[in-house]
Structure 1
Amino acid sequence: MNSAQVDAYLHRLGVAHPAWPTVEVLRELHLRHLRTVPFENLSIHLGEEIVLEEKRLLDKVVVGRRGGFCYELNGAFGALLAALGFDVDLLAGRVYGDEGRLGIPYDHLALRVRTVDGGEWLADVGFGAHSHYPLAFEERGEQRDPGGTFRIVESGPDAAGALGGGGSAGAGDLDVLRDGKREYRLETRPRVLGDFTAGAWWHSTSSASHFTRSLVCSRVTEDGGRITLSGRALTVTAPDGTKEVRELETDEEVLGVYRERFGVELGRVPTVRGRNGAD
């Protein structure tokens, strides 16, 4: 990233250029990203190509003021952090699904970040409902966060099997838990952005991917809750977990919510494309 791209990204997040890549700076950037850049899969249903190249991601997130899913959001955020002087590794994960089964390889992209004042952190602005702040990567006890109580634990050989199957753990693999439930299994070997191309293609084309079967646009709200638009269903979740759901009736209303509540300007209402691509 060049300095102009860094400045534009920080301007979108509403933060000044930090002096040093510290833990507190990382925490602020992480929360601001979750509040500002939505987790969304609209490109899949608008017929837009998803390309995992740094410039294309920055054009979408910064210039186009859009969001994305894990590969795009954490890919762009990782590039910003590296440009600001953080030491960043891209890590591959597999998400726990129904009955504790693990998803495909390169199912998820998360970040391991090192700061100048010490420690390693798991940063993840691309999982939807997750921690509001980075998690201490080497901590194995409970970590309390506005998004829940998290733990990072070693993945034993029977971790997935005990939950219904889904694949054995590799050496050094970690499981990330939220409120006692396993969310994803994380490899600790560093990857490059291009490694995730097949996973992004599968999630954007396969009828077996939940991203091709539904629409989502979601972000953390300023009070620590969450707002989500799924198709025409608008859900506002308060910090205490209570939800208010209403159905939007007109296309104009849907486009207005995208624009006013998510900062996403669309020319038409996206609709689920149904079965497309490989199974």
Structure 2
Amino acid sequence: MIEGYLRRLGIEGRPEATYETLVDLHHRHLDTLPYDNLSIMLAAIGAVGAPDPVDPEVTLARVAAGGNAGYCFHNNGIFSLVLEELGFEVVRRLGQMLEATGPSGTLDHLAIEVRGLPTSSNPEGRWAADVGYGDGFREPLPLVDGHFRQSGFVYRLARVGELGWTFHHDPHGSFNGSFVRGPVAQEDIEASHLRLSTPPDGAFTRKLVVQRRDASGAETVRSIRHLRSGSGAFERELRDFEQWRTALAGIGLSFLGVEDDALRELHKRQAAEYDEWLLTR
């Protein structure tokens, strides 16, 4: 089931469940599969019937065939499934962004804890793995209180009570951070996906976001803005459709099964909404 995913990441065979493998998979997933809400946005403008579901096996098959993963529920969903298939001990945790999209405790991010991988710097062997932030940390963070520097970015983890942690993003990141709480079930993920991906109130139905964390920074297309944080930082507007499409492809977005007319309509609407935002900022 996972061989197609591993081949997409450039791996033949099944690697052993070690800390080194976890780091390698984390890097390769981020390099290969960007964070994106393209299917949600296409559904929101009526170009497709419904967004891609968050069933991890469905996502895994789509990725193996050359398609996109999606946003956090998709990326972390298949990453946790693959880790389990390889023999890692994984706990899926309820996450909520600090800029909450609902009442306290509302699920809007799937977080991953990996256990049983002690190192000299993390003898307890508990790690926060996350390939679903888009511009989050590059490699797993040890689940201990502290600050962590990765390629010019600084992150912080702080314990909250018995079950939770707070992840504080670098100030140059696209969000402040997130709470990580107790375990979460697949049915909870599916219910939250429906809430977040359904117009007009769904938080992920308003603006296209495609982003990828690489070894030295993060690159993002948000609406028609193309920007980079970290090494080689820049920001520009993509009012030309072909430039916009090229930038999306450069970040790693797949257009498999996506009609050109639908993309053009999405770009047109995003440009118009961006101009409205400029008038009210």
TM surpasses 0.5: yes
Residue 155 of structure 1 contacts residue 173 of structure 1 at CA under 8 Å; is this kept in 2? Answer: yes
- Structure 1 counterpart of 2:188, from 195, 202, 218: 195
Question: What code does the residue aligned with 1:192 have?
Answer: A
- 2:34 aligned residue (34, 38, 46): 38
CA distance in 1, matches of 2:11, 2:128: 21
Distance 1:9 1:172, change over 3 A: same
Residue identity matched to 1:58:
L
Whether 2:181 is the aligned partner of 1:175: answer no
Q: Is residue 84 of structure 2 the alignment partner of residue 82 of structure 1? A: yes
The within-5 A match list for 1:170-249 is 171-179=162-170, 183-187=177-181, 189-221=182-214, 223-239=215-231, 243-249=233-239
Counterparts in 2 of 1:94 and 1:206: CA distance versus 1, 3 Å: farther
- How far does residue 228 in structure 1 lie from its aligned partner after superposition? 1.4
Question: What is the TM-score of this pair, normalised by structure 1?
Answer: 0.79
Structure 1 window deviating more from structure 2 (178-187 vs 19-28): it is 178-187
Aligned to 1:129: 135
Consecutive unaligned residues of structure 1, counting only runs of 5 or more, are 157-170, 275-279
In structure 2, the CA distance between the partners of 1:95 and 1:249, relative to structure 1 (3 Å rule), is: closer
Query: What CA distance in whole angstroms lies between the structure 2 residues aligned with 1:120 and 1:238?
Result: 28
Quick one: percent identity of the two aligned structures?
29
Aligned residues between the structures: 250
C-alpha separation in 1, matches of 2:160 and 2:10: 38
CA separation of 1:151 and 1:231: change in aligned 2, threshold 3 A: closer
Question: For 1:56 and 1:19, how far apart are their aligned partners in 2?
Answer: 22
Give CA deviations for 1:176-221 in whole Å, capped at 9, x if unaligned. 123489611111x322322211211111115444422211111123
Q: Deviations along 1:142-184, whole A, 9 cap, x unmatched?
A: 222236222222226xxxxxxxxxxxxxx42221123489611
Whether contact under 8 Å (2:224, 2:239) holds in the other structure is yes
Check the 8 A contact 1:95/1:107 in 2, yes or no: yes
Distance 2:91 2:134 in 1: 20
Mark the CA change 1:60 to 1:238 in structure 2 (over 3 Å): closer, same or farther: same
Per the alignment, residue 54 of structure 1 pairs with 56
